[in-house]
Amino acid sequence: MRALLGYLPQQVPYYPNLTARQYLNYIAAIKGIPAKAGKQQISTLLAQFHLSQTGKTKLKDFSGGMRQRVGLVATLLGDSKIIIVDEPTTGLDPMERATMRNILSELAATRIVILSTHIVSDIEAAATKLLILKTGKFVYQGTSTGLIDRVKNYVWEDVLPFGQVPQHDRNVSSIVQAIDGTHIRVIAKESPSTNAQLVAPRLEDASLAMMEGIIQ
């Protein structure tokens, strides 16, 4: 199992004064990969993840996204077939987040990738199967589309005068200040106000509805 699994924690453990190549050589040795094979794998993976030009730059001087990519290279050393990643985009800027999501989607074409995250946009971009945990138990297993279908006719949008906010935040999935007023999305079985209109649900709406017990 150890040979098959690769794990990327939320905070990549690293030695700040090592270069990426030095760090990866160390990880390859821990995994028991022969030196020659390890060097070949490291060179290939560094090129794949656009890290070949980092040279003598120390890991402490890398951006958060670059360190995440180094961690992913370490995870893949030894040709791991099952990749487990925990909150891989937390703390990254928008461009780095998009890069990490794209990398995970590419890896999923040839490997099993298990992504643990609270960031719904990451799930929408990368996941084909969805598992939702609530208090340690699975409350949903299926596709994102299947979950969204369950919350049709439960998502309402109301527009309040600009600057106003709802008097409660229960089951409010988003509050957006726009030119025409404050757009409020509410998850409810019945209309929360006389002016609220049914709107097409999003995955974030469906996730909230499942966690709040509005849908089963």
Domains of the chain: 5-128 (3.40.50.300), 147-211 (no CATH)
| Overall pTM surpassing 0.85 (yes/no) | no
- 182 close to 160: Cβ distance less than 8 angstroms: yes
What pLDDT sits at residue 50?
A: 87
Burial class (CB in 10 A: 0-12, 13-18, 19+), 80: buried
Distance CA 192, CA 156 (A): 8
Please choose, from the candidates 112, 114, 89, the residue with its C-alpha nearest in 3D space to the C-alpha of residue 102. Answer: 89
What pLDDT sits at residue 206?
A: 92
What pLDDT sits at residue 38?
A: 93
Distance CA 90, CA 97 (A): 8
For the chain, residues with pLDDT lower than 50 are none
What pLDDT sits at residue 40?
A: 95
Residue 161 DSSP symbol:
P
